[in-house]
Structure 1
Amino acid sequence: MSNHHPHLPTTESAVTAIRAVAAEYRLGLTVTDDIGADRTSRRTSAGVFTVLDPDGSLPHEAFVELGGSPEVTVQVFPEDDATITVEGVEFADVPRDAVPAFLRSVYGGLAHVRTRFLPPGQWLVVPLPGDETYREPVFRGALTPWLARAVR
Structure 2
Amino acid sequence: MAHAHLPTTEAAVTAIREVAAEFGLSLSVTDDIGADRTSRRTSAPLFTVLDPDGSLPHEAFVDLAGPPSVSVRLFPEDDAKITVEGVEFHDVPRDSVPSFLRSVYGGLAFTKGRLFPPGHWLVVPLPCDETCKEPVPAPALTPWLSGRTRR
Larger mean Cα displacement after TM superposition, 110-119 or 68-77: 110-119
Counterpart among 24, 31, 34 of residue 33 in structure 1: 31
Over the matched positions of the two proteins, sequence identity in percent amounts to 73
1:11 and 2:9 correspond: yes
Q: Is the 8 A contact 2:31 2:59 kept in 1?
A: yes
CA deviation vs aligned residue, 1:99-138 (integer Å, no higher than 9, x gap): 0000000000000000012222100000111110011001
Distance 1:8 1:97 in 2: 5
5+ unaligned residues in a row in structure 1: which ranges?
1-5, 41-58
Q: 1:38: how far off?
A: 4.8
TM-score, structure 1 as length reference:
0.80
1:139 and 2:137 correspond: yes
TM-score, structure 2 as length reference:
0.80
Distance 2:99 2:140 in 1: 25
Provide the alpha-carbon RMSD of the alignment.
1.9
Please show how residues 51-70 of structure 1 align to structure 2 within 5 Å.
Answer: 60-70=58-68
5+ unaligned residues in a row in structure 2: which ranges?
39-56
1:111 and 2:102 correspond: no
Name the SS for the 2:123 alignment partner: strand
Structure showing greater relative contact order (alpha-carbon pairs closer than 8 Å, 6 or more residues apart): 2
